């Protein structure tokens, strides 16, 4: 006998159909979510991802507060873009900002489930940031970079138009201290780092790079000598100390500078023109050596360029890398030049003017041991004539100036220094001790100048 079912029983869906309908609904929701994420990812990123990034940063660096502007995300390219980022130290000692920037190839999704960013999430990262400004308010210096590109796959960092500068003018900077101080400005068209272990940078471990290249760098140094030195001030940090402190943290195999310039000045009165030393067209190569006798690793520096736009200069340095003691050695040569090119320094610093004189050649070899320089300077020159000048007017025609010039040229100055028939000539002795306010470049110059002064007689 055939069983007949009621209409209600016949319309009751099976468990399989219920499961299929539910699966279809879930699939439709998932598909809609994926399409929404693909077509409209920005609201999702700004609503969920951005707060998690800020929270993760705050947990890692509680001494800073961060503000992140509008973000955009490309699912296909796995690239996140940001209009701006502002970073401020809680104690007010630091403020920084970044303009338009982008980061690609980071696994962001695990942040939604409470995960944290770690070095393993950055293996394929490419960072591109524009208009970076970092202000170190306590030291009154700022660092600006027009564009920064970091590629982890390429092991490369490139910074375009990078400059370190004062946040105020020179006079305001010098006014803040009652003692003598040194102002630095540094700018370079491009700084590129190759062979850098990017992931160790993120891990905070020892940093290593194969090479650093600076294109068209310009170093501007100014000392306000109108103020006295502080007797209890600490010595400026020197390269030997920097290398020793970085020994376990940072290792760079080579540093190359292309077309560098150095502008060194000493100011003797507020608002006055400083005494100037210029180095142009500098080509520099610094490389680590495996050993230096008993002192371990060292940095060998070879530099060549134009001195005071008049003479070709060649300098070699050997700087120990593992010892904080201020000891190193440098030597070099200077080609033929009209020595009146030194007047931009001598007229202001010494109230002396070179009226005539030609340097045929010069060599120097100087050893620095615990801040004490010794060595020799060999200078071959002819017909050197000096004139004393008035500090205020720059005139060399006053009676007192004429008398001082006569005494200098007649009794003190060695006007000519060339080998005699036996090959003998005056060799200058270098004798200079590091002063408390001596930065590195000034120490190198003053030690060399002491030998030149011994040759010439002033």
CB burial readout 334-366, b (16+ within 10 A) else e: beebebbbbbbbbbbbebbbbeebebeebebbb
Q: What percent of the chain has pLDDT over 90?
A: 39
Average pLDDT over residues 33-41: 53
Average pLDDT over residues 173-184: 89
Number of helices (H), then strands (E), in the chain = 10, 21
pLDDT: is 17 or 206 the higher one?
206
- Tell me the CA end-to-end span of the chain in Å, nearest whole number: 135
Residues belonging to the chain: 458
268-317 pLDDT, tens digit per residue, is: 988 889 999 999 999 999 998 654 444 467 889 999 999 999 999 999 99
Residues 428-439 have a mean pLDDT of: 88
Residue 155 near residue 194 (C-beta atoms within 8 A): yes
Q: Where are the beta strands (DSSP E) in 167-291?
A: 182-194, 207-215, 218-224, 250-267, 275-289
Tokens at 133, concatenated: 């400004």
- Say if residues 206 and 200 touch (Cβ distance below 8 Å): yes
pLDDT in tens, 236-280: 666 766 666 655 566 788 999 999 999 999 999 888 899 999 999
Q: How far apart are CA 223 and CA 266, in angstroms?
A: 5
| List of E strands, 291-348 | 298-307, 311-320, 328-334, 337-338
- Reading phi first (left if > 0) and then psi (alpha if -120 to 50, else beta), residue 216 is in left
> What's the rounded mean pLDDT across residues 426-454?
90
């Amino acid at each position: 006998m055939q069983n007949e079912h009621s209409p209600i029983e016949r319309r009751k869906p099976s468990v399989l159909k219920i499961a299929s309908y539910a699966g279809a609904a879930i699939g439709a929701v998932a598909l809609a979510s994926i399409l929404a994420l693909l077509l409209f990812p920005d609201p999702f990123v700004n609503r969920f991802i951005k707060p998690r990034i800020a929270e993760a940063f705050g947990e890692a660096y509680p001494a800073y507060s961060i503000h992140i502007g509008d973000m955009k995300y490309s699912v296909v390219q796995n690239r996140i873009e940001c209009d701006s980022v502002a970073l401020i130290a809680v104690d007010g000692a630091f403020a920084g900002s970044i303009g338009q920037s982008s980061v690609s190839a980071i696994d962001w999704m695990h942040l939604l489930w409470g995960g944290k960013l770690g070095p393993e999430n950055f293996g394929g990262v490419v960072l591109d940031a524009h208009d970076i400004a970092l202000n170190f308010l306590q030291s009154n210096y700022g660092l600006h970079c027009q564009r920064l590109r970091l590629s982890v796959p390429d092991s490369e960092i490139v910074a375009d138009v990078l400059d370190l500068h004062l946040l105020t003018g020179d006079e305001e900077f010098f006014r803040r201290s009652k003692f003598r101080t040194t102002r630095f400005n540094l700018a370079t068209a491009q700084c590129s780092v190759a062979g850098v272990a990017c992931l160790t940078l993120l891990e905070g471990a020892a940093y290593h790079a194969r090479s650093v290249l600076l294109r068209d760098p310009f170093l501007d140094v100014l000392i306000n000598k109108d103020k006295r030195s502080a007797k209890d001030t600490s010595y400026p940090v020197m390269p030997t100390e920097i290398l020793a402190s970085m020994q376990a943290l940072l290792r760079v195999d080579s540093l190359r500078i292309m077309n560098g310039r150095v502008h060194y000045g000493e100011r003797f009165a507020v608002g006055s023109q400083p005494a100037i030393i210029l180095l142009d067209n500098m080509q520099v190569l610094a490389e680590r050596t495996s050993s230096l006798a008993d002192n371990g690793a060292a940095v060998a520096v070879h530099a060549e360029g134009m001195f005071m736009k008049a003479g070709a200069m060649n300098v070699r340095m050997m700087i120990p890398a593992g010892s904080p003691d201020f000891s190193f050695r440098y030597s070099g040569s200077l080609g033929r030049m009209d020595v009146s090119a030194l007047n931009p320094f001598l007229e202001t610093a010494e109230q002396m003017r070179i009226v005539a004189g030609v340097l045929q050649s010069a060599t120097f070899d100087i050893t620095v041991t615990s801040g004490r320089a010794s060595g020799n300077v060999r200078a071959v020159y002819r017909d050197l004539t000096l004139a004393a000048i008035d500090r205020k007017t720059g005139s060399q025609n006053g009676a007192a100036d004429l008398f001082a010039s006569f005494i200098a040229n007649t009794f003190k100055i060695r006007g000519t220094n060339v080998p005699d028939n036996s090959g003998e000539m005056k060799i200058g002795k270098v004798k200079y001790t590091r002063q408390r306010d001596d930065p590195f470049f000034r120490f190198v110059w003053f030690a060399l100048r002491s030998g030149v002064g011994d040759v010439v007689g002033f």
